[in-house]
Chain A
Amino acid sequence: MTKKLFEIVENPITVGPLIDKVMRREAGAITTFIGTVREITNGKRTINLEYQAYKPMAEKMLKQIGDEITEKWPSTYVAITHRVGKLDISDIAVIIAVSSPHRKPAYEANEYAIERIKQIVPIWKKEQWEDGKAWIGDQLENIPYPKGKPDIKGDDHD
């Protein structure tokens, strides 16, 4: 069975299988990023979240991020899984695992991956608060599409 390195799934996810996907004898470092559902954002209490994805394209875009990473940091292996559906506080929404012979590319490539996910992967979250709900487009810490569209090629992130 071939390992699926870039996946959108409906069920709870754990970090172990992603570590296994990037583990190899040449690796001297594996970094993992675990994105979890935060309770308080800008003073507002979230009850739960719902993630929606355009699944076939989202998996393609995750793969594209993997390709960009392999080009920038040729020594790395990458695996990314994003969960969709209804998630509660502290549930894991996304896991990124990167392995490399030495630690620095593994750290850098991992951060690059989460930044790119927030730019080009067609996934949306709907926040349910105590007093309402809304699809989140602008995550406030970012201006979405500062150039009017996502930076598809990734050239701005060297």
Chain B
Amino acid sequence: MIEVLLFAQLQEDAGTDRLTLNIEKLSVKQLRKKLMETYNLQQVKESMVAVNEVYALDKEWIQSGDTVAIIPPVSGG
């Protein structure tokens, strides 16, 4: 299982702050595609992905047990 945390507008679009995916392994790129196609979360396109609290590139792999966060453009400060 892979837990996907959502924030800000993405959280409101999905109607939840987390999704649990029953998947053993997929790449960051595959995750983006899944979130856009299956969950219709279009802001994923302009978001960064963090795996276990570290920013990850599209080619990196996510495995069962990892915590993933989708990070839309930030606006702190």
A binding-site residues for B, Cβ under 8 Å: 35, 51-54, 56-58, 60, 82, 93-94, 114, 117-126, 134-139, 144-145, 149-150, 152
Instruction: Please give me the residue from chain A that is nearest to B49 by CB atom.
Output: A149
Known A56-B53, A145-B46, A150-B55: A121·B8 in contact at CB below 8 Å: no
The 4 closest A-B pairs by CB, nearest first: A123-B76, A144-B73, A124-B8, A137-B73
A35, A58, A60, A149 — most chain B CB neighbours (10 Å): A149
Contacts of B55 in A (CB 8 A): 120, 149-150, 152
B: interface residue count bin: 10 to 19
Contacts of B5 in A (CB 8 A): 54
B50 CB-CB contact with A under 8 Å: yes
- Total A-B contacts with CB atoms under 8 angstroms apart: 83
Expressed in whole angstroms, the Cα–Cα distance for A84 and B15 within the complex equals 21
Given A57-B50, A57-B53, A150-B48, A145–B73 Cβ distance below 8 Å? yes
| Chain B interface residues toward A at CB < 8 A | 5, 7-9, 12, 43, 46, 48, 50, 53, 55, 69, 71-77
10 more CB-based (< 8 A) A-B contacts, given A124-B75, A145-B73, A152-B55: A57-B53, A94-B76, A119-B74, A120-B74, A134-B9, A135-B8, A137-B8, A149-B55, A150-B48, A150-B74
Smallest CB separation, B73 vs chain A (Å): 4
* Residues A135 and B9 in contact, CB atoms below 8 Å apart: yes
Q: Which of A51, A114, A119, A137 has the most CB of B within 10 A?
A: A137
Cα–Cα, bound, A57→B52 (Å): 9
Q: Name the A residues within 8 Å of B77 (CB-CB).
A: 35, 82, 93-94, 114, 117-118, 121, 123
